[in-house]
Amino acid sequence: MSQSINLEPVNAFDHATFVGAFASVFEHFPQAAEGAWSARPFASATALHDAMMNVIRRMDDKSQRAFLNLHPLLSGANIRAGTMTADSDAEQKSAGLDAMSAEQEASLDRLNAAYLERHGFPFIICVRHYTREGIFSALERRIGRSTQQELDEALAQIASITRARLNARLCALPATI
């Protein structure tokens, strides 16, 4: 994440402005922004992201699992239905999940169901770092891992996803606020 972003305006945001600017960084979980606000001032974008991730890391296991279940399944059908957040939609499209054959979609649906049944939360991966084939391969491999490994991996993947989302929002802020 860029360290050159001027966080002075962000550090001056009141609570409502801060939460409004960053509530959607974490999928359906504005509590990450709400909890991070009290950690101001932030010396860097990384420090801001760390504060948001710490909200998640401090949750108990049950709450972390509930948080993970806020995330959508990787799915061409979800893209077509328009049921995901704009970020998730763009991310899944970037990996070509909107251009799968019927056979690929059926395979992804089967793998998602197996993963969800085994681990109790959806498969989460920073799709922007993978090709469609790489996503399928990682999903197949990760189904067989322990649920604790997958909980840790899902949180690491969320860190990658949200780091990029936060950086995009910071870069989109007006130079003078």
Q: What percent of the chain has pLDDT over 70?
A: 96
Nearest to 1 by CA among 164, 159, 169: 164
pTM assigned to the model = 0.92
Structural tokens at position 85 = 């957040």
User: CATH 1.10.3330.10: does it fit domain 8-65+164-172?
Assistant: yes
- C-alpha to C-alpha distance for 104 and 120, rounded to whole angstroms: 23
Domain with CATH 1.10.3330.10 in the chain: 8-65+164-172, 72-158
175 confidence band (pLDDT: 50, 70, 90): low
pLDDT(1) > 80: no
Task: Return the pLDDT at 78.
Answer: 87
According to DSSP, residue 173 is labeled: S
For 42-51, how does the pLDDT look when each residue is reduced to its tens digit (9 = 90+)? 999 999 999 9
Q: In the prediction, which pLDDT does 76 show?
A: 86
**Annotated catalytic residue: which of 15, 49, 71, 119?**
71
Q: Considering the domain 72-158 in this protein, what is its CATH number?
A: 1.10.3330.10
The pLDDT-based confidence of 16 (bands split at 50, 70, 90) is very high
What's the mean pLDDT when you consider all of the chain? 93
User: What was the pLDDT predicted at 31?
Assistant: 98
Q: What is the DSSP letter of 38?
A: T
Structure tokens at 171: 């870069």
Length of the chain: 177
71 catalytic per annotation:
yes
Q: What is the pLDDT of residue 4?
A: 61
Question: Residue range 148-155: average pLDDT?
Answer: 97
Residue 96 has pLDDT above 50, yes or no: yes
Percent of the chain with pLDDT over 90: 88
Q: What is the mean pLDDT of residues 133-161?
A: 97
